Amino acid sequence: MDKKRLLQNVRARHALAIGLVLAWFGAGSAFAADPIKIGQVAALSGPSAQSGEAIARGLQLAIDEINAKGGLLGGRMLQLVQRDDESSPPKGLLAARELMSENVAVIFGGLDSPVSLAMLPAINKDKHIYMGVWAAATNITHNGANPNYAFRVSAVDALVDVKLLKFANQKFGSKKAGLMLLNNPWGQSNEKGLTAAAKDNTAITIVGTEKFEPADVDMVAQLERLKSAGADSIILVANSQPGAQMMKSRERMGWSVPVVSHWGISGGRFPELAGPTAGQADFVQTYSFFGKQGAVGQRVLAELEKKYPTIKGPEGVFSPVGTANAYDAMHLVALGIAQAGSTDGDAIRMALENLKTPYEGLIKTYNHPFSSTNHDGLGPDDYIMVHYQDNKIVPVD
């Protein structure tokens, strides 16, 4: 082989090697650019669809902020992938399995505790992160799994129940509470929590417990029994549709007993369905866009108004708890992914349990919000009481 041909062969081999190296780096860059998928399983249709949309707004707002700063893990953008559970536990489980097969980094849950509880065994088994932002059943995070991949930035029934009884006593002077509970796992969780809370609060006792189905439209019989038992307040645990039917049954009776409710009634069209007495139910929330806002609250409200033209002030933010909880939770998850340096479920779990970076959120400043024994980022000091004023959710005076 002459020198000229030999030189051509050497140059060709060098060019091929350089091409392979460039191709390898190019593939690596393409991989680095793959989006990090963020799953959401929530009610996006039906009576509770408003709750799913509120959660989606909070998630998307946080995702937009994170992406605007360059994303995570070397420039990977976050992408929201949604599934509608229709408030059905079997459909929620199917949706969670679909999202896990698509390698989402985390699954954000919705309003309905029974749906979240149905999903959790599969999520824990598959070592994916579940982040609750509304469903409050105590055993969502206290589920007995070890390791446990369920976290939450939301209220917890066991703590809410203490708040509800204390508020009924202090606000209305109630000494005899009657319970009106949805007949499902969420209602059961609160029955257990309220019973325990009453044992620790000697100022108020529970004089009766009544249950109803999600589709019930007449609850006069249950309310009559509580009235006969001497109830001077009603503790309500329901979503918007059955909660509205309870209020209408109370109205038909002409009974003006105070109603203190869990927050399920804020996840749908409660004012429209309940009618004139909707504002007579005080309920728990974790955030309100009314009143003086901190720097984060001002920024979030401004971004909501910019992104959603129907929002023209705090009164336009429907189901605010869903938006606020989801917004803070998404930022905490992003910190976990960044600290873990990975989208692996086990790595994110360990990072969330020991977050090193404080986060100034919408609801509060989170400083080591989770641990290996506590996966709930909010406590009773983070709850406020509100009620409807027309369609607006405003703090109780």
Q: Tell me the pLDDT band of 391, cut-offs 50, 70 and 90.
A: confident
Top-confidence residue, 397 or 231: 231
Write the pLDDT tens digit of every residue in 119-158. Answer: 999 999 999 999 999 999 999 999 999 999 999 999 999 9
Structure tokens of 359?
């986060």
How much is the pLDDT for 267? 80
Residues 243 and 171 in one domain: yes
Write the pLDDT tens digit of every residue in 89-109. Answer: 999 999 999 999 999 999 999
Residue 81 has pLDDT above 50, yes or no: yes
Write the pLDDT tens digit of every residue in 347-373. Answer: 999 999 999 999 999 999 999 999 999
- DSSP annotation of 127 reads T
Q: Dump the DSSP string for 345-393.
A: HHHHHHHHHT--S-EE-SS-EESS---SS--B---GGG-EEEEEETTEE
Residue 27 amino acid letter: A
How much is the pLDDT for 21? 42
Residues 130 and 148 in one domain: yes
Select from 174, 165, 132, 129 the least CA-distant residue to 147.
Answer: 129
Q: Tell me the pLDDT band of 27, cut-offs 50, 70 and 90.
A: very low
397 found inside a domain:
no
Mean pLDDT across 41-51: 94
How much is the pLDDT for 254? 97
User: Which among 234, 256, 285 is the end of a domain?
Assistant: 285
199: which strand partners?
none
Residues 174 and 226 in one domain: yes
Q: Are 240 and 47 in contact (CB under 8 A)?
A: yes
Q: Are 270 and 296 in contact (CB under 8 A)?
A: no
User: Which among 285, 308, 331 is the end of a domain?
Assistant: 285
Q: Tell me the pLDDT band of 14, cut-offs 50, 70 and 90.
A: low
Residue 323 has pLDDT above 70, yes or no: yes
How much is the pLDDT for 11? 57
How much is the pLDDT for 268? 81
Residue 355 — left, alpha, or beta (φ > 0 → left; ψ -120 to 50 → alpha)?
Answer: beta
Q: What is the CATH number of the domain that holds 101?
A: 3.40.50.2300
The residue whose two tokens read 């400083």 is: 367
386: which strand partners?
283, 395
CA 384 remoteness from chain centre = 16
Residues 323 and 275 in one domain: no
CA 120 remoteness from chain centre = 15
Residues 43 and 105 in one domain: yes
Sign of CA dihedral 351, 352, 355, 361: positive
36: which strand partners?
78
Residues 270 and 197 in one domain: yes
Q: Tell me the pLDDT band of 13, cut-offs 50, 70 and 90.
A: low
How much is the pLDDT for 397? 75
- Report the mean per-residue pLDDT for the chain: 92
Mean pLDDT across 17-32: 46
Q: Are 253 and 277 in contact (CB under 8 A)?
A: no
How much is the pLDDT for 316? 92
Q: Indicate the range of 10-14, 225-229, 296-300 predicted with least confidence.
A: 10-14
**Domain coverage including residue 76:** 34-155+292-379
The residue whose two tokens read 């793959």 is: 34
Mean pLDDT across 245-253: 98
How much is the pLDDT for 282? 98
Residues 92 and 186 in one domain: no
Residue 185 has pLDDT above 70, yes or no: yes
How much is the pLDDT for 240? 93
State which H helix or E strand residue 235 sits in.
strand 233-237
